[in-house]
A and B are shown apart, each in its own frame.
Chain A
Amino acid sequence: MAEDSRKAPASLGEIESEPLVLCEDLVKVFGKRRVLDGLNLKIGAGETFGLVGPNGSGKTTLMRILAGLVRPTAGHVRVLGRRLPDPLVAASLGYMTQLSALYLDLTARENLRFFCSIYGLRGQERERRITEILARVELSAEADRVVATFSGGMRQRLSLACALVHRPRLALLDEPTVGVDPELRRAFWDYFAQLNREGTTIIVSTHHLDEAARCSRLGLLRFGKLLACGTPQELLAGAGASDMETAFLYYAARGRQEEVTA
């Protein structure tokens, strides 16, 4: 690990051999609950990686570990080739929390300005990015309204904007489409695809299985373990199923069987 910390920031995660995210035997215990139970995961640059699993499967905990907010109880985690927490990693990370974490007493623009500033953006560049992202999430007209007056969908859009306004290399999006209507959900995923084409690696958690098909790869998470991992096509083929729901149930059942035989 020591040699990693000596690497120049310019080489952050750009080594071919090193995946953007690397988890080895990750364990997280809260009290008596084993939220993550020996998780192994590699995510390469340029992926849109979907974390799929029911509530309580450990998706958010994994996100928080990757964001450097929580230390794993055991195992190793490296993001952009570095151990966490690391300020350089933090600077190239965008984190959208499950709650639309916003300052309700500030306007949309003021929220964005604050998050820009703590990521080191200022002056005209900052204002340009804010204008751009407000247009992208279709909040330009509401930019100077106080967030407390926003609807749920508007808050969710602003929350996404706040996570992405500094153009992170890795976007951690924790259930970005929860409580979002189908039309906006589609718009979000179109946006994710566009971001991905522009070079942002995305890790997105969801329990909408229909969204899974839009990911380049998927990890099925249950009881803190990765049940299966692969492209949507691979997972469907492996389960001999025609839709994600059936595939997920197949892998979940297989996981339980392994537990019983073990």
Chain B
Amino acid sequence: MNAARVLALTSRIIRQIGRDRRTLALVFLVPLLVMSVLYVVLTESSGGVPTLALVRPTGAGSNALNGLIDRLLTPTSRLKIMTIAANEVEGVLNKGEADAALIFPADLATQLERGEHPKLQLVLEGSDPAVAATMRESVTALVRQLDVALAQAQSRASQSQGAGQTPPSAAQATSLLTLAEPRYLHGGPDYTANDALAPVFIGVFSFFFVFLLTSVAFLRERSQGTIERVLASPLSRAELVMGYVCGFTLFALVQAIVVLLFVIFILRVHYQGNLGLVFLVAILLTVSGVNLGIFLSTFAQNEFQIIQFIPLVFGLQVLLSGIFWPVGQLPVWLQPISYLLPLTYANEALRAVMLKGGDFGQIAPQLAALLVFMVLMIGLSALTVRRQVA
């Protein structure tokens, strides 16, 4: 591998794309336009039934209370319910097994007997703002119902015991339980659907544009016959692929910066976490995109046929990579396909970094998956470059 020759190719590509003003404008402006439109259009709709994890009271006299809770929850089809231990809350939420957890004090029965106001805590996973909002609403309603039921039970109990005790005042009766301000594991109450969508745009745009540009550039190289000349020169196939990768990765990174700045400063999307990791994901995706472009361009005779690859490469990934609907909520038979798409892993990694402040260790599995895709794509494109001339 000769750096000077790779550089020659890289700078040629930069020059060619740089001269094409319209392409340049599209690369940088289309993402902004699409994001702006989505920002306006996006409604906070949620798909599927969210899951609430309960940390139940366990102390003396809890059986009756748990029975009451279950009676109240059974008619609600808006929530799926599971029971967990107090120390499992963060684990269950982070693994995505539940979207929120409602924690009852272990000694709820005792506290009620003493006439205290037991405090319930709602913990929200929070990275999907739509789900978090529904959860807050449902749980608040649920606690209010429980409160009323408990008050009724207490007043019945005091009536049957006779006039030995003063009946609880009306004010006390309606506020036996208090629901503390919900705690967010990620995000916060002011997170919107855009906060959840913004990270994935970086992945979508850096993959898609680079794929499109490379496949057309490579197709032209073939139809103009310049590939013959290049391959007859001392430039090796590896250097050819490398030159393309360097040239287009540069544009993809500039694009990622533009998208990121727009998202943070114009759309004012919340973000935390390491920007370096965001770019690392963008680079891995870009290299995959360049090589997929080289690979698929060999199956196209002209630009029109390249356009026909778009639904395949872009459409499929947008629908199945968890951008709008979490992969876990897709039909079971579609989910394996999601895990064959690089964008699925990029989305998971970008969301983890930007919404949850995830570090390298936390997104290592996704990065590894992206790396595997990248190597696979390089292998495919290297194979096709050989095939082009044979």
A interface with B by C-beta (< 8 Å): 64, 67-71, 87, 90-91, 93, 95, 97-106, 110, 113-115, 117-120, 122, 146, 162-163
Q: Output the residue of B229, B235, B390 with the most chain A CB within 10 A.
A: B229
* B12 CB–A CB distance under 8 Å: yes
Interface size grouping (class) on chain B: 20 to 34
Contact B389 A70 (CB under 8 A): yes
A64, B224: Cβ atoms closer than 8 Å: no
- Which residue from B16, B233, B389 sits with its C-beta under 8 Å from A105? B16
For the A-B complex with A64-B389, A114-B8 known, give 5 more contacts whose Cβ atoms are closer than 8 Å.
A69-B232, A91-B234, A95-B233, A101-B228, A106-B19
Query: A67 vs B389: C-alpha distance in the bound complex, in angstroms?
Result: 11
Q: How far, in angstroms, from A163 to B228 measured CA to CA in the complex?
A: 12
Q: Given the interface contacts A110-B12, A118-B8, does A102 sit within 8 Å of B234 by beta carbon?
A: no
Q: How far is the CB of B228 from chain A (nearest CB, A)?
A: 5
A2 CB to closest chain B CB (Å) equals 22
B121 within 8 A of A: no
Interface check B75, CB cutoff 8 A: no
Query: Contact check: which of B4, B8, B15, B231 meets A106 at CB < 8 Å?
Result: B15
Shortest CB–CB separation between residue A254 and chain B, in angstroms?
34
Top 8 A-B pairs, shortest CB-CB distance: A117-B8, A101-B225, A99-B225, A67-B232, A95-B232, A91-B234, A101-B226, A90-B234
CA distance A119 to B9 in the complex (A): 12
Check A69/B231 contact, CB under 8 A, given A97-B225, A103-B226, A105-B20: yes
For A94, give the chain B residue with the smallest CB separation: B232
A105 vs B233: C-alpha distance when bound (angstroms): 21
Q: Are B232 and A99 in contact (CB under 8 A)?
A: no
Give A101 to B235 CA distance when docked, in angstroms. Answer: 16
Q: Are the C-beta atoms of A105 and B234 separated by less than 8 Å?
A: no
- Which residues B12-36 have CB closer than 8 A to chain A? 12, 15-16, 19-20
Contact A118–B9 (Cβ < 8 Å): yes
Asked if B236 is at the interface of the complex by the 8 Å CB criterion, the answer is yes
Residues on B with beta carbons closer than 8 Å to the beta carbon of A120: 2, 4-5, 234
Cα(A118)–Cα(B229), bound, Å: 10
Q: Kindly state the separation between the CA atoms of A19 and B224 in the bound complex, as whole angstroms.
A: 33
Main secondary structure of the interface of B (DSSP, over half): helix
With beta carbons under 8 angstroms apart, the residue of B7, B16, B229 that contacts A115 is B229
List, in ascending order, chain B residues with CB within 8 A of A117's CB.
4-5, 7-8
Contact among A95, A104, A115, A122 with B228 in the assembled complex (CB-CB below 8 Å): A95
In the assembled complex, the Cα of A97 lies from the Cα of B225 at a distance in Å of 8
The listed residue (B9, B230, B232) touching A93 by CB distance below 8 A is B232
- A106-B12, A106-B19 known; A118 vs B233 contact (CB < 8 Å): yes
In angstroms, Cα B236 to Cα A115, docked, is: 14
9 chain-A/chain-B pairs, Cβ below 8 angstroms: A90-B232, A91-B234, A95-B229, A95-B232, A99-B225, A103-B16, A104-B224, A113-B8, A117-B4
Q: Select one of A105, A110, A162 contacting B229, CB under 8 A.
A: A162
Q: Bound state CA distance, A191 and B20, in angstroms?
A: 35
Chain A residues, CB < 8 A from B224: 99, 101-104
Q: Establish whether residues A118 and B230, one from each chain, have CB atoms under 8 Å apart when the complex forms.
A: yes
Task: Return B390 CB to nearest CB of chain A, in Å.
Answer: 7
Tell me the smallest distance from the CB of A115 to a CB of chain B, in Å: 7
Decide: B228 and A64 in contact? CB cutoff 8 A. Answer: yes
The CA of A214 and the CA of B302, in the complex, are separated in Å by: 40
Tell me the complex Cα distance, A44–B232, Å. 21
Bound-state Cα–Cα, A113 to B4, Å: 12
- Inter-chain contacts of A68 with B (CB < 8 A): 232
**Quick check: B4 and A105 within 8 Å, CB to CB?**
no
Most buried by A among B19, B224, B232: B232
Q: Of B8, B9, B229, B236, which is within 8 A of A101 by CB?
A: B229
> A103 vs B224: C-alpha distance in the bound complex, in angstroms?
8
Q: Are A70 and B390 also in contact (CB < 8 A) when A101-B225, A103-B226, A120-B5 are?
A: yes
Which residue of B has the minimal Cβ distance to A100?
B225
Whether B229 and A119, one on each chain, are in contact in the complex, defined by CB atoms closer than 8 angstroms, is no
Query: Which residue of chain A is the closest to B18 with respect to CB atoms?
Result: A105
A155 to chain B, nearest CB (A): 11
The complex places the Cα of A122 from the Cα of B3 at a distance, in Å, of: 13
Contact A119 B233 (CB under 8 A): yes
Q: Separation in Å of the A86 CB from the closest CB of chain B? A: 10
Which among A68, A98, A110, A118 has the highest number of chain B CB atoms within 10 Å? A118
Residues of B within 8 A of A106 (CB): 12, 15-16, 19
Instruction: For the complex, give the distance between the alpha carbons of A91 and B2 in Å.
Output: 13
**Chain B contacts for A101, CB-based, 8 A:** 224-226, 228-229
Residues of A within 8 A of B8 (CB): 113-114, 117-118
**Interfacial chain A residues near B235, Cβ < 8 Å:** 118
Measured CB to CB, the closest approach of chain B to A87, in angstroms, equals 5
Q: Which residue of A lies closest to B9 (CB)?
A: A118
Name B12's contact: one of A67, A103, A119, A146 (CB within 8 Å). A103
| Smallest CB gap from B236: residue in A | A87
Contact of B389 among A69, A115, A118 (CB under 8 A): A69
Bound Cα distance from A68 to B15, whole angstroms? 29
CB distance from B65 to the nearest CB of A (A): 75
Inside 8 A of A64's CB, which chain B residues have their CB? 228, 389
Which residues of chain A are within 8 angstroms of B7 by Cβ–Cβ distance? 117
Cross-chain contact B390 with A71 (CB below 8 angstroms): yes
A119 to B226, CA, bound (A): 15
Q: How far is the CA of A97 from the CA of B389 in the complex (A)?
A: 13
